[in-house]
Amino acid sequence: MDSQSIIEKAKSTSRTLLNEIESKVLLSEAGIPVVETKLATMKQEAVAMSKKAGFPVALKIVSPEITHKSDVGGVKLGLKTSKQVEAAYEEILSAVKQKFPHAVIDGVSVQKMARPGTEVIVGMTKDAQFGPVLMFGLGGILVELLKDVSFRIVPLEREDAREMIREIKGYPILEGFRGMEPADVSILEEILLKVSGFVDDHPEIKEIDLNPIFAYKDGAVTVDARIILERDAVT
C-alpha cells in the first residue's frame, strides 16, 4: 500500500488518525528511516511475523481510537519466544477491551525491537499564523518532563536543521555525555529536512509525531510514529 492509497482509504471513512503502520509507510516513502512494522489480525499471524522479523519483538495495539497505547496496556516489549508473543497478544486485546470496550481494533502491530539508542523526537503542528512548525528535542518520556525542544517554520534549510539540534539544552547528550554513545547529528539533520519536505508535499497533514527516534553513532531509526490528517481533508 502506498501513501496515496492510505490517505484515500482514510478519506473514505472520514478518519483523521493514521495508525502506526500507515504512518510508517508514508514516512518510509519520504526517505525517513523507520522500523519495519506489520499488522497481525490473529494470534498465530503475530507469531509467524515475529519469527520472520527475528526475536525480540514488540507488539502494540492498532486502533484509530487509541493514541496513547501504553497507557491502556496496549504495548508489550522485548518478547523473546513464540509463547511470549501469544500471551502478549491476548493480554493486549484483553486490556484494551476492558478499558475501551467499544473501540474499533484493527489488530496488533509486530516489529523487531530496535537497538536502544539516544531517544529524540521530531514533531510537526500547524500554527494558525505561521503554518507548519517543526519541533525537535530529546524523546521518550523526557520530552514531557523536560520540555527541552526547539522549533522552526517549514520549509527548513540545512542551517535551520543544524541550529534546531544544537540549541536544545540536552545537546551534550547527543555528543556522548559521560561515556554515552554519541549520535550522528548529520543524520538527524537529514531526518528534519526530509520531514520538512514531506510536510511541504502533503498540506493535508495536520500533525506528525515521531517519538521516539533512536539515534546512534552510525544511524537513526523511527520506532513509533503518528500522523493526523486535517479534518477538511477527509470530509
CATH architecture of 36-113: 2-Layer Sandwich (3.30)
pLDDT in tens, 126-185: 999 999 999 999 986 666 677 889 999 999 999 999 999 999 999 999 999 888 899 999
Give the pLDDT of residue 139: 82
Q: Is the peptide bond before 33 cis (omega within 30 degrees of 0)?
A: no
Helix (H, G, I), strand (E, B) or coil at 75: strand
Class for domain 118-233, per CATH? Answer: alpha beta
CATH 3.30.1490.20 residue ranges of the chain are 36-113
* Count of other CB atoms within 10 angstroms of residue 80: 12
Give the pLDDT of residue 142: 63
Mean pLDDT of 71-95: 97
CATH 3.30.470.20 residue ranges of the chain are 118-233
Report d(CA 57, CA 129) in Å as an integer.
42
Give the pLDDT of residue 31: 97
Give the pLDDT of residue 34: 98
Confidence tier at 13 by pLDDT (50, 70, 90):
confident
User: Half-sphere exposure of 62 toward its Cβ, with a 13 Å CA cutoff?
Assistant: 24
N-terminal to C-terminal alpha carbon distance within the chain:
22
